[in-house]
Structure 1
Amino acid sequence: MTQQQAVFNQGLISFLQASPTPAHAVENMVRQLQEAGFSPLHEGESWVLEPGQGYFLVRGGRSLLAFRLGQQPVVEAGVCMMGAHTDSPCLKVKPNPELVRQGYLQLGVEVYGGVLMHPWFDRDLSLAGQVYFRNEAGQLQQALVDLGEPVAVIPSLAIHLNREANKSSEVNAQLHLPPVLGAAESAVDGEVAEPALKRLLASWLKREGHQVAEVVDFDLCFYDTQPPALVGLEQSFISSARLDNLLSCYVGLQALLATDQGQAATSLLVCNDHEEVGSASAIGAEGPFLESVLRRLSGDEQQYQRMIARSLLVSCDNAHAVHPNYADKHDENHGPKMNAGPVIKLNANQRYATSSETAALFAGFCATAGVPVQRFVVRSDMGCGSTIGPIAATRLGVRVVDVGAPQWAMHSIRETAGTQDAWYLCQALQAFITGWTGQE
């Protein structure tokens, strides 16, 4: 690992640590964009855009779109698009969460996305997310909250009380997942406890300098407080929560920030929330966020269609690396390895949007960047996941290639990726941006 790669990975680790929720990830990306001179845009206002300048928009606080306008018109050069998602599977706090069981205070949770549940047990958990509150003047305000310190745990049941735990152990999300916050003094089991969570949030907000008269609502999730780390004998791996898919958000952002004002084609990054639950929302990939911006950039319908015909979207979402203990879960000719380069993802049933043309184009970007490339096809007797790629292809009619860095333990509370692969993917994306000529 070179010094440049080491600095890149430390930036990734810092981003992962500072982004326990999609809203925090967007806030951190906005900060980097502003430091690089990108200007904010608002969908409800008129836009006056200048070639070479960078701009960004935020929708719902959890989805972000940023672009640098090229020197050539978008209808001639097209748009170099990169897509990722800001959300990860997690445990979200219910609106009225307080539970009292056996004298302990717990919070009820919903399972968000395809969570691998067992790794959530016996972890030091904290809370983070968006909180809406009224100040002393009665005004509704919003703030990001990250308690930072461990405030809860989901204890495992001792094996002495479940001798079959290592053979089969079902997790009931309603009964077994509510985290324990502590003792509920003088409480009776089953009673609705005093809203301890809102008191906790109000106290935290006041310490941060906010005037809080009443906490009105929140969008909170639990997260593991163990920080990301480089692991392995030669620090070959990055171990962290939310690698799927904050790794792709970070990589796409760094590729965009590496562009310069003399770039011919327009380069764009979109990071949507709600991919893990289907993307069907106003801020998800199935919503109008990306399309509405592209239409404003192009002008009338004919110009829009010309632009789309000359554009390409690289949909970035991590891929399944072959697991040495479960190698039979992969097709023997399509098992991506760690630190062996970005993965082109293909599926005959269109769960990925890659075509032979777009696969060839991306392989060319990798060759230009001097990085290796791999291909993944799921076993023919297994189901295949999906990404924002097919959604964007269907909604926009744009060419798409689905790619990603290989990783282990996808959708676990802690995942593992190679220390080389995020860097490799970033180099390939930069080659895409600098080499795109708007070919049809």
Structure 2
Amino acid sequence: MSSTPSRFDRGHTDDLMTFLTASPSPYHAVASVAERLEKAGFRQVLETDAWDGTSGGKYVLRGGAVIAWYVPEGADPHTPFRIVGAHTDSPNLRVKPLPDTGAQGWRQVAVEIYGGPLLNSWLDRDLGIAGRLSLRDGSTRLVNVDRALLRVPQLAIHMDRSIYEKGLQLDKQKHMQPIWGLGDVREGDLIRFLEEESGLPAGSATGWDLMTHSVEPPAYLGRDRELLAGPRMDNLLSVHAGTAALTAVAATDGLPYIPVLAAFDHEENGSQSDTGADGPLLGSVLERSVYARGGSHEDKARAFAGTVCLSSDTGHAVHPNYAERHDPTHLPRANGGPILKVNVNNRYATDGSGRAVFAAACERAAVPFQSFVSNNSMPCGTTIGPITAARHGIRTVDIGVAILSMHSARELCGADDPFLLANALSAFLAG
């Protein structure tokens, strides 16, 4: 805990640190969310089962995605939804189908680059490995080796002094394969090791979705510990805040909306999957919720027309060493509250009416907020926001928390901002 008093309760940020550590992969993240939902009285429903229209909290898990919602007592079939959207995946190094490789007496793991990581941030860092194993009986098993297992070693400066003139040049294929031992390459060695770590018989796993993660835990940073350094804050910070907000408003009397958390996978590579925001999962869940309460296609159309989604993802805090890369009049600062993200070319989905919705939620929660617009000379990133708006016809607003070192193996934010975001999301979901 911080030795210097904060304006806000740090309990939420402490819990975020626990969540980040427990969630080294999207599959672990949704398992962490499900555990918290169960403690709040939610129950899992299977997509293959018939759904009923009873009130209460429910959730669906599919791969690295989770959709959770709370139906208040007396909700009509056409009751609109209030959605917090986020994503569970982060840029990293992912294990290839034939993982065992090596050279010159070093045993290595063959990896593929996922998303757009800052590659240099993965060098000379102790890495673990996590994900899921798919077994012969059709089940899956989560695996997490959360200790120093892998390392991508950087070339010594003595062997490449051109770095001083040209900067670090990394080839994604040649330079990013981590080492994990010495000796001859043995086919099937990594998977046998992970089966053993998971208490499985050899040969049990016939498929895998595995990735590396930094084993350094999250930590408060700075003289006054007013900053938070940690992995995967893009975008598990929003997933955690959305979960906290949904469980906080669940069972509130007189909710005018059905609050929803939609945490998708694969945002970092385009969202086009059955668990991504560009897939059918959210629309299917919302539609089935309407129909389970006796609704018709007309009721669904009415519900969607009144629905609003806050697409919550991290954004860019003003960088003290590169301030010229930012718009000079929009300079979000750490611990200044959540940011409203705007781009008139629809890289973000926010418009004026959406801004009003978010401003009202922040006002109710007594939370300050900031605005982010890209420098006109710099390309703008994007989020699940425009995808959600276009695919479902749902009014969507892009927001988030301002951070530094986005897409690094270890990112940085203000230690109060996660708490402020969660409060704003709670006010939004409560309506």
TM-score (norm 2): 0.95
> Are 1:74 and 1:266, in contact at CA under 8 Å, matched by a contact in 2?
no
SS in 2 for 1:336: coil
Alignment pair present for 1:284 and 2:276 = yes
Q: 1:59-96, CA deviations, whole angstroms, 9 ceiling, x for partnerless residues?
A: 12x10000111235355541111100000000001010
1:227 aligned partner, one-letter code: P
Percent identical: 39
Matched residue type, 1:56: Y
Change (3 A) 1:140 1:59: closer
Q: Is 2:43 the counterpart of 1:44?
A: no
Letter matched to residue 310 of structure 1: G
Contact 2:130 2:143 in 1 (8 A): yes
Q: Distance in 2 between matches of 1:27 and 1:239?
A: 23
Structure 1 residues 129-180: Cα deviation after superposition (integer angstroms, max 9, x where no partner): 001233xxxx343200001111111111111111122442211111000000
Q: How well do the aligned residues superpose, as a CA RMSD in angstroms?
A: 1.4
Partner of 1:268: 260
Aligned residue pair count: 420
Of the structure 1 ranges 6-15 and 161-170, higher mean CA displacement relative to structure 2 is found in 161-170
Structure 1 unaligned residues grouped into runs of 5+: none
Aligned to 1:32: 36
Structure 2's unaligned 5+ residue stretches are: none
Name the structure 2 match of 1:235: 225
Range with bigger deviation, 64-73 or 21-30? 64-73
Structure-1 separation of matches of 2:279 and 2:139: 26
Alpha-carbon distance between aligned partners in 1 of 2:48 and 2:157, rounded to the nearest angstrom: 57
Q: Is 1:427 aligned to 2:423, yes or no?
A: yes
Equivalent position SS for 1:425: helix
The normalised TM-score by structure 1 is: 0.93
**Could you report, residue by residue, the CA deviation over 1:303-341 in whole angstroms, capped at 9, with x for unpaired residues?**
111111111000000110000111011001111100001
CA separation in 1, counterparts of 2:223 and 2:34? Answer: 35
| Gap change, CA 1:100 and 1:31, over 3 Å in 2 | same
**Residue 168 of structure 2 corresponds to residue 129 of structure 1:** no
Q: Which residue number in structure 1 is paired with residue 109 of structure 2?
A: 107
Within-5 A mapping of 1:40-439: 40-51=44-55, 53-60=56-63, 62-73=64-75, 76-134=78-136, 139-166=137-164, 167-184=166-183, 187=184, 193-206=186-199, 210-261=200-251, 262=253, 263-298=255-290, 299-434=295-430, 436=431
Cα distance in 2, alignment partners of residues 3 and 329 from structure 1: 30
Work out whether residues 195 and 201 of structure 2, in 8 Å CA contact, stay in contact via their aligned partners in 1. Answer: no
Task: Tell me how far 1:217 sits from its aligned partner.
Answer: 1.6
Query: SS of 2:148's equivalent?
Result: coil
SS in 1 for 2:150: coil
Deviation at 1:49, TM superposition (A): 2.9
| Superposed CA offset, 1:206-257 (max 9, x none) | 2xxx445432121100111000001111111110010000000000000000
Distance in 1, Cα, partners of 2:392 & 2:205: 40
**Residue 24 of structure 2 corresponds to which residue in structure 1?**
20
Contact 1:75 1:306 in 2 (8 A): no
Output the amino acid matched with 1:154: V
Query: Is the 1:97–1:108 contact (alpha carbons within 8 Å) kept by the matching residues of 2?
Result: yes
* Letter in structure 1 aligned against 2:28: H
- Say whether the 8 Å CA contact 2:319–2:404 is kept in structure 1: yes
Shift of 1:264: 3.4
Report the Cα distance in structure 2 between the residues aligned to 1:177 and 1:350, rounded to whole angstroms: 34
- The SS at the match of 2:367 is coil
SS at match of 1:372: coil
Distance in 1 (alpha carbons) for counterparts of 2:400 and 2:191: 39
The Cα shift of 1:379 comes to: 0.6
Deviation of 1:276 after TM superposition, in Å, equals 0.3
Q: Which amino acid aligns with 1:172?
A: D
> For the residues of structure 2 that align with 1:39 and 1:108, how far apart are their CA atoms?
39
Query: Match for 1:284: what amino acid?
Result: G
State the Cα distance separating 1:50 from its structure 2 match: 2.0
Contact 1:256–1:268 (CA<8 Å) still a contact in 2?
yes
Distance (whole Å) between structure 2 residues aligned to residue 74 and residue 327 of structure 1: 50
Change (3 A) 1:122 1:165: same
